[in-house]
Chains A and B, each alone.
Chain A
Amino acid sequence: MRGQGRKESLSDSRDLDGSYDQLTGHPPGPTKKALKQRFLQLLPCCGPQALPSVSENSVEDDFELSTVCHRPEGLEQLQEQTKFTRKELQVLYRGFKNECPSGIVSEENFKQIYSQFFPQGDSSTYATFLFNAFDTNHDGSVNFEDFVAGLSVILRGTIDDRLNWAFNLYDLNKDGCITKEEMLDIMKSIYDMMGKYTYPALREEAPREHVESFFQKMDRNKDGVVTIEEFIESCQKDENIMRSMQLFDNVI
């Protein structure tokens, strides 16, 4: 017959086995609260005023969260704090607000936006690291000020600032030094973004080898960790890295 809206639930027999309620799609069986409520309603003594607190709290919470709207500080303050011009800030905010009408980006949202640029691979891990780097006050969300502050450093900062920011990105636990494990995580996330179907195919041990060569280059005193001074010093000596840092001058 036509009109099969819920194709999954009608075409199999999960309902009959008691694991799926066909109409609502949730596991069947009323919750304890609702049962108690219904029972009490059946009794003639209790009027409809019984148990108003049994109402669904979670729905209201969700509703509140979605109506929370974060507004950034004024344009002038942002202009002072960052190195963007007024027009650039306007353009950035328009794009930001389009994707995140509530004014803040959650980690999920961030990952989803970032993954649209890398359809062939899995960019979620790298996006998490980025999110943690942008979220300077570690409150679980990135608002427009954080966003613009990060972009200002990367796109308009000095080379030292940029290297600082990159170090901050690599340092996952923010303790001031990069260990081999942290670097391995970062490397794996970058290789994940490439996806599985590259040619020639990326080998399993490629990230590890890459980490080894990185540490060989960066770790001056061979103590197994890379501190910020070692990092900046080594990067300044490397021609390629210096040149690549200049790529960010013309992004906006």
Chain B
Amino acid sequence: MAASRVSCAAAASYRLFLGGRVSLARRQGVWKAAAAELQTGAVFQILRLRHTTGVTTKKNVAALRRETYTVDFIKKQIEEFNIGKRHLANMMGEDPETFTQEDIDRAIAYLFPSGLFEKQARPIMKHPEQIFPKQRAIQWGEDGRPFHFLFYTGKQSYYSLMHEAYGKLLEAEKHQNQLQAKGLFSEKTKDLIGSRWLIKEELEEMLVEKLSDQDYAQFIRLLERLLTLHGGVEEEFVQRFRRSVTIQSKKQLIEPVQYDEQGMAFSTSEGKRKSAKAEVVVYEHGSGKIKVNGIDYLLYFPVTQDREQLMFPFCFLDRLGEHDVTCTVSGGGRSSQAGAIRLAVARALCSFVTKEEVEWMRQAGLLTPDPRVRERKKPGQEGARRKFTWKKR
């Protein structure tokens, strides 16, 4: 009955259809199992309350319906993917056994070149587990009994995790009390540098469940409490929820030190700011002379501000008069040329300086190229932001 109503296309009948459906739902929300039981006359069985409503009150529109993929469907997709992978390897003339995901990506990019900007709109061939969203299978067996003992809470994975963590906490407390009774208690310091807690989205992905902010905060608090106690067994349990954090300074490219004909150590690097490009050579031992495009910096940069910009990297490292600098710069104006040289000088100095000082320079912002560029002028406005004078009448 409901199916035939779906097929009618008139927009006017939509509201009628929805209203009718609601009342249908109410009447259909009968204990179907109970009705069946009464008919067969088996009185002794408990009328298992199987709450079934044939229709829901939501709009049955494709865009709003959450697509549920059956286990068989996913398995078929995986088989097709594996066969397709082998065909692709044959096509590219490579060995099907050692064809990795990167090879697949390269092959697809070669066979189906696409100029689309959106990377996710280009043709992709990935394992079905990465394409189809992870879903939960049916949580109960044929007899109607759910599999998990915390099923009726709604968030079974999250609460079972909390239950497990709390159990470990109790064990650790007991262990600590025993140690204290024996007198073997000692303060423990854990170093958790280089790792961070999972963020809420990562935890949601791990549990395949929606969480609230309070749930997440409670969980992190419990784990931190667990960490303050003794007991080596909990380390692995807690490490499951920590991710390593790559320290930014490790990614810093340090220029190699080169030696010229006289045996003087120097290092070269480049820097950019707006449209100015600078190439700089910094000598390790010198007396603080700076030459820009063959001209002394005092004459090339008459403004104090520009010269201060050049001096800043040396000032920061307390090496004001120790290095000689020769640089070439082109493009931009006086301020952007100064900025470009400053960045290049800072990068070059990285090779003469310790790792901590490199990290300090990075934190001071000396090694970050300034991303600001001139904003374009828009039509209908006088400049990039300035609008034409507004006249009331």
Answer yes or no: are A and B bound together in one complex: no
